[in-house]
Structure 1
């Protein structure tokens, strides 16, 4: 992937991250790229928590991908720590380039570095292409997820 760098996200990256989050039918309904205030506040919370890793993939100083990795200590599975991958996005210009695979591989390696025993993620039911992508990377659709909006 040449000059690709995966690094922690900064406030300067937030407009590009939010644009990627909003760049699909689901994201277009729930994101607000015109008002970055809540995203910047969220970034402050994320960066102050050592178990949160919001990263961007950059090429030539341009943000081309992002994901959030959360490390979760737990009691189940004999006290195992797990990680959760969320908010995986690849810029439209980079889709199909292998960048998504590199981001997930980074997250898996980072999870190993944190002694995680399990990596999990969720994906909206409508994202069938994403489901195939995750299955190609070794993930299995093993659970049914539930959400409650508050």
Structure 2
């Protein structure tokens, strides 16, 4: 139930729970391997890691304090651009508006903290088709850029980009 879920800033102590969430999401996709030490070393101090990159990360938790979602954002002051990271939501909570609430939380933080932010980008695995539809619904456009990662999942990713104002407008419409 949406009302029983809370979005709060993540702490460094949330790293293992965020890792468990990502591992569960990866298990929904054939070939996605969760490589905790090789690909997610920031989990040891996840909030501090995002803060070091002029960013922030949030989690969604239920009444039992289980982490069911996360979304992080970093910011590059030199170019005025933000990047979304670690956008994951437990299968049971999808389709309830939680991802939009997380994205709105990040947009509000960016608007207060980095008022000169002109663009938001993200990279997402080509297998995460439901995520692609969500990003497009929220106003992101696939740029045509792709990249291959040197990871255990042999991942390829699409790049998406949007203007923060366009995202806000699309979220309000939905």
Q: TM-score, normalised by structure 2?
A: 0.68
Mind listing any 5+ residue stretches in structure 1 that lack a counterpart? 76-80
Partner of 1:30: 34
TM, length-normalised to structure 1 = 0.78
SS in 2 for 1:29: coil
Equivalent pairs, count: 142
1:100 matches 2:94: no
Q: Which secondary structure state, in structure 1, belongs to the residue aligned with residue 143 of structure 2?
A: coil
Tell me the distance in 2 between the aligned counterparts of 1:99 and 1:7: 12
Residue 105 of structure 1 deviates from its aligned partner by 1.8
Return the alpha-carbon distance in structure 2 between the equivalents of residues 122 and 47 of structure 1: 16
User: Which position in structure 2 is the counterpart of 1:78?
Assistant: none
* Structure 2 residue ranges without an equivalent (≥5): 152-174
Superposition CA RMSD, Å:
2.7
Which of the numbers 56, 61, 69 marks the counterpart of 1:58? 61
Is this contact kept in 2: 1:53–1:68, CA < 8 A? yes
Name segments (4+ residues, structure 1) moved above 6 Å: none
CA contact (8 A) 1:65 1:88 kept: yes
Distance change in 2, residues 1:84/1:47 (3 Å) = closer
Return the offset for 1:48.
5.2
